[in-house]
Structure 1
Amino acid sequence: MDRSANPALRDELFGPGEDRAGAKPMTIRGTIDKTLVLLAIAMVSAVAAWKFLPADAIPVILVSVVAAFVIGFVTSFYTAWSPVTGPVFAVFEGIFLGAFSGAAEALYPGIVAQAVALTFAVFVLLLLIFRARLIRVTEKFRLIVVGAMGAIILFYLAAIVLAFFGLPLGFVNEGGWPGIVISVIIVFVASLSLVLDFDYIEQGVTNGLPKRHEWYAAFTLLVTLVWLYLEIVRLLMKIRMLAQVLRR
């Protein structure tokens, strides 16, 4: 069975232990509808946070980040709860996104609109490529993407640990070419993760998973889209920083 690069998608969902007796099967249309619902919740929450949270509301932002992480982690292991935990996750994730986007927009006006447009464009492009079967989700392809994601996680963890000990990796967040190249690579991997998510959802529909998994599939897509959006914002910020330096 295909494995997604998204850690929220696991092979056990398609295993023989899944009880499908008397349950309506999940559909592509149903998954799309649930995804739109979660995106709408996240967007409303983000706009509210952007407009009403003061710049010094760090405790609220930290609570939203921790809450989103905990709820996302729980949802990954208790998929039956996804119709409830998915929307709650979207609320807390939206609070963080609103605060993050507001800060980025204050530094670089117009950057949020650019990032949203690019995220949507990447999503649509990869969906079309996937539907046209221009990309084959083979075992080798899957292992490469999963391995790349693991490397990115380790890289971020190393950067956090080093920063904690007063040894920050400045090039990671600065607008130099090394930082830009790193961001391009991460955006590319996040984009490929979407392809694996599409494939996994398609497999779920083909295998007749219960309809409640539409919420879970929508949750996983939201996780990947948020990651992609955040990395695109970071990439655009680094490009603008480099442009400012070159203009001097």
Structure 2
Amino acid sequence: MANPLFSEKTFNKITLASDDVMTLQGTLNKIALLLTVTISVAAVTFYAAIQGQPWSMLMLPVGAIGGLIIALILVFKPTLAPTLAPVYAVLEGAFVGGISSQFSGLAFMAAVLTFGVLALMLVVYYTGLIRVTQGFMQGVLVATGAVALLYLLTFALSFFGIMVPYIHEAGWIGIIFSLVVVGIAAMNLLVDFHLIEAGVAQQAPKYMEWYSAFSLLVTIVWLYLEILKLLAKLNRK
């Protein structure tokens, strides 16, 4: 429910299949594939950027805009996920590689921490340390929406030369804000895990494996970017 691309309503919109259905192993395979594509493209883009290759400068805006378009299409047409999810992974890889090149000394540490948090949240979820209830998902939804609105407000005000103070700075307020957002992104992982299990239990159609993998990738990339911001603030501090 917290991930705007992936909620219980996603399964309410689809027609359940009876033969070729979503499985956990199939979903894990798709997640592994999309992550491999994203990391590979990001690594190539990152290397090209730090080597000063002219084409690499285009990867960040192309990846950001293209990825947003693909994500919006998939929200309304999940059946296209088998075709568009790999395209999204390529575009996100270009975007991540481009933005990471601006923080070349921190990118590797951010990636390690991201997968560390991912592993930790898997343990937390499957051991039941945090139960993903309806109330939990609603809380994560509200928190995620608040962060999104704040980011949109900051972006809009920047066009008028107005900068929102503190939260993007390297002071303690900015660092604490980034820690909170990293925590919210991590909670979204728990919601994604829960919804993947729900899809498998409901025997959702096979294409939902690709859509679920795409949705989890969105959360992982967001988590990586927030950790990268946090490290940058700590580095400046």
Which bin holds the TM-score, normalised by the shorter protein? over 0.9
TM-score by length of 2: 0.93
1:81 matched residue in structure 2: 80
Q: Is the 8 A contact 2:67 2:88 kept in 1?
A: yes
2:216 matched residue in structure 1: 221
Unaligned runs of 5+ in 2: none
Q: Does 1:201 align with 2:200?
A: no
Other structure's SS at 1:25 match: coil
1:238 matched residue in structure 2: 233
2:168 matched residue in structure 1: 173
Tell me, in whole angstroms, the C-alpha distance in 2 between the residues paired with 1:123 and 1:101.
Answer: 19
Deviation at 1:61, TM superposition (A): 2.2
Tell me, in whole angstroms, the C-alpha distance in 2 between the residues paired with 1:140 and 1:19.
Answer: 26
Other structure's SS at 1:94 match: helix
Q: Does 1:147 align with 2:146?
A: no
Tell me, in whole angstroms, the C-alpha distance in 2 between the residues paired with 1:171 and 1:87.
Answer: 37
User: Within 5 A, what are the aligned runs for 1:61-80?
Assistant: 61-80=60-79
Corresponding residue pairs, total = 234
Tell me, in whole angstroms, the C-alpha distance in 2 between the residues paired with 1:16 and 1:143.
Answer: 19
Q: Is the 8 A contact 1:175 1:239 kept in 2?
A: yes
Aligned with 2:15 (options 7, 15, 18)? 18
Instruction: Give a deviation string over 1:80-105, Cα, whole Å, max 9, x none.
Output: 11011000000011001001111111
1:246 matched residue in structure 2: none
Q: Is the 8 A contact 1:179 1:238 kept in 2?
A: yes
2:119 matched residue in structure 1: 124
User: Within 5 A, what are the aligned runs for 1:25-36?
Assistant: 25-36=21-32
Q: Is the 8 A contact 1:126 1:191 kept in 2?
A: yes
Tell me, in whole angstroms, the C-alpha distance in 2 between the residues paired with 1:214 and 1:66.
Answer: 24
Aligned with 2:40 (options 41, 44, 49)? 44
Tell me, in whole angstroms, the C-alpha distance in 2 between the residues paired with 1:143 and 1:205.
Answer: 22
Identity across aligned pairs (percent)? 36
